[in-house]
Amino acid sequence: MQRVQGFAQRVKASLQVYAVGARIAMLERLQYPLASLMFMVNVLIEPIIYLVVWSSATAAQGGAVGGYTAGQFAGYYIIWTFVRQFNLAVGPDSFNWRIKNGSLAGELLRPIHPIDIDLGWNLGFKVMQVVYWIPIGVILWLMFKPEVNPQGWQLLSFPIVLMLAAYVRFFVMWLVGLICFWTERIDSLIELYFAAELLFSGRLVPLEIMPVWAQKIAGYLPFQWTFYFPIELLLGRVTMSEFWMGVLAQVAWILAAYVGIRLVWVRAVRRFTAVGA
Amino acid sequence: MSTNSIVVKDLRKTYKVPEREAGLKAAIKSLVARKTKDVHAVDGISFQIEPGEIVGFLGPNGAGKTTTLKMLSGLLYPTSGELSVAGHVPQKREREFLQQITLVMGQRSQLNWDIPAIDSYDLYRAIYGIPQEQFTQARDEMIEVMQLKELVKKPVRNLSLGERMKAEMVGALLHQPGVLFLDEPTIGLDVTMQRRIRAFIQEYNQRYKATVLLTSHYMADVQALCKRVIVIHHGKLLFDGDLTALVERFSAQKTLVLTMSDMNGRTPDMAKYGTVVTQEPNRVVLRVNKSDAPQVTARLLADLPVTDLTVDDPPIEEVIESVFDAPETSE
């Protein structure tokens, strides 16, 4: 009984930390509106380039490329910009500077797992990014006239899939970041990680346009569940069976990454406390 | 119920540090056969601190003070030895243990720089699960004592070093820990700020009966707060006892300050009494061996028209320096 109560209290405490952490992230974003705007511009340049390129390509091909019309490409990349705001995660290299500037030592002194603070902070960060995205999304919508035709169930399930996509990306990147406890030189590894994400997530092009071998590789990686799957769902291009398979894959990746974090974190802290900051 | 005592027995921390000669040849050689050497940051120290004590933890840079504090707060795993802080083994990093301690490092900030400190305090409330009423009362009292009322509403990056340190102290103590590890809490602060931080630590200690282990290069901090000091050097314990006993033991000299009546332009040869520190027409400062002080004082009074004479210990900084220079003997 006492254990259950303890667990309930811990959940309540964690939820409080998420709420306060989210509020602090929002305050931070409001503190630097110009920096937030520049960040948004930086995030949007990438899909706009893709959008322009693929719009030209579809026009040159007589209206469609790989089964996507110009309007569907527009829909794909505009939804992309929204999904991107939502699946922003704590970068794997953040552990590098947290170790170097001593903030990790401070976090380890607190009676809570640092991931709880990150989860809360990341949530607030996303909320502000989405708020900043709204006017830009409206402008893009009016400019490129996307073809987006979701059915009712696809529209209703999109927020859940989006949330799961965000947590897949958050937990996987947190796990990758733990490598920093063993080596400071993870820049190349992080670049490799993001290159793989770019190719196999549907971030660069819809996976359907990629060669079959690339699609097969993507099937073994978590990336497509963070971009391609939610985008395709809102475009109305996902069947019910594909939907359930996708949700299962998202949950499986979250669980796998979470278990990975639990296992690696203990060793990471042991290593950190052996050699110091 | 666990007390806030600290027990350290034969504590050691050894780091393996890569070592190689300069040059390309040595660099290539080190790829095949990597040489390391052991650095004994803390080398078998033992002490015990009772609940409610404020103890000064002294030593030159690199003596092992911060390493010890990190082991005591669970941030570093000891190579060997036993540790107990508030009834817990620090390296286990249990939730209950972390609730009872705080580590303040003067050169590192824990507050979020981009937002006002008062918002960071709210995060601490959630992290430590402090009931809202208790939190508000503790926070407002500490803000009042530290005179931070307006400052906690400014982003931390806009605060001066001293203001930031005051805000850090409040943040570190909001959960009312029973054991405080303070690593140079007054470093870089002006005299007024130092005094305020000291007063705050003293008041907190008296009010909550908290145990405090404090490192500082400012002897004023140590003199104002610590009855007892522990001195370490090269990771070994050199002294553990009262500050007055430290002075008594390691100060080999006394300072005599003489004021004399008019000597009619005559300048006496003071060098025959001891080492002359300063000499003005009617005032002389002499340094003499402690054992010679009574005889020299008697001779001065007999030989010269002394109107005032004081016998002092040398400044504490000089005493501490002499401790570091002394041969290494642990006790």
Q: Which of B136, B98, B153 is nearest to A27 (CA)?
A: B153
Tell me the per-residue pLDDT of B73-98, one tens digit each, with 9 for 90 and over: 999 999 999 999 999 999 999 999 99
Average the pLDDT over each of A52-66, A191-205, B60-74, B115-129 and give the range with the smallest value.
A52-66
Decide if pLDDT at B294 tops 50: yes
What's the sign of the alpha-carbon dihedral A135, A202, A231, A72?
A: positive
Closest chain A CA to residue B15: A275
The per-residue pLDDT for B328 is 52
Segment A200-221 shows an average pLDDT of 93
First-residue to last-residue Cα distance in chain A: 40
The per-residue pLDDT for B119 is 93
The per-residue pLDDT for A117 is 92
φ and ψ at residue B122, rounded to 5 degrees: -65, -35
Mean pLDDT of chain A: 90
Average the pLDDT over each of A42-56, A194-208, B122-136 and give the range with the smallest value.
A42-56
Decide if pLDDT at B222 tops 60: yes
Cβ-defined contact of A273 to B91 (cutoff 8 Å) = yes
The residue written with tokens 């007063």 in the block is: B199
Tell me the per-residue pLDDT of A98-124, one tens digit each, with 9 for 90 and over: 888 888 999 999 999 999 999 999 999
CA B71 to chain A, closest CA, distance in angstroms equals 9
3-class secondary structure, B155: strand
Segment A230-236 shows an average pLDDT of 96
Cβ-defined contact of B75 to A109 (cutoff 8 Å) = yes
The per-residue pLDDT for B327 is 60
3-class secondary structure, B260: strand
Tell me the per-residue pLDDT of A134-177, one tens digit each, with 9 for 90 and over: 988 999 899 888 999 999 999 999 999 999 999 999 999 999 99
Cβ-defined contact of B98 to A27 (cutoff 8 Å) = no
Q: Alpha carbon of B146 to those of A160, B119, B122: distances in Å?
A: 47, 17, 18
CA torsion B298-B299-B301-B302 (nearest 10°) is: 120
In chain B, the domains with their CATH numbers are 6-21+36-247 (3.40.50.300), 252-312 (3.30.70)
Write the residue in B73, B102, B114 that is nearest to A31 by C-beta.
Answer: B114
- Interface residues on A facing B, Cβ-Cβ cutoff 8 A: 9, 13, 16-17, 19-21, 23-24, 27-28, 31-32, 101-103, 105-106, 108-112, 117, 269-270, 273-277
Please tell me the distance from the alpha carbon of residue A218 to that of residue A209, in angstroms, as a whole number: 13
Please tell me the distance from the alpha carbon of residue A138 to that of residue A129, in angstroms, as a whole number: 14
Cβ-defined contact of A31 to B103 (cutoff 8 Å) = no
- Buried-state track B197-223, b at ≥16 Cβ within 10 A, e below 16: bbebbeebbeeeebbbbbbbbbbebbe
Helices marked H in A149-186: 152-177
- Interface residues on B facing A, Cβ-Cβ cutoff 8 A: 15, 67, 70, 73-77, 91, 93, 95-96, 98-99, 101-103, 105, 108, 110, 112, 114-115, 119-120, 122-123, 125-129, 155
Decide if pLDDT at A1 tops 60: no
Best of B105, B115, B118, B124 to mutate (most A CBs within 10 Å, chain A): B115
Average the pLDDT over each of B2-6, B257-261, B286-290 and give the range with the smallest value.
B2-6
What interface predicted TM-score (ipTM) does this complex get?
0.83
Cβ-defined contact of A102 to B105 (cutoff 8 Å) = yes
What is the band of A211 on the pLDDT scale with cuts at 50, 70, 90? very high
The per-residue pLDDT for B329 is 47
Q: Which of B169, B210, B212, B173 is nearest to B189 (CA)?
A: B169
Decide if pLDDT at A4 tops 50: no
Please tell me the distance from the alpha carbon of residue A74 to that of residue B255, in angstroms, as a whole number: 87
For residue B209, is it left (φ>0), alpha (ψ between -120 and 50) or beta?
Answer: left
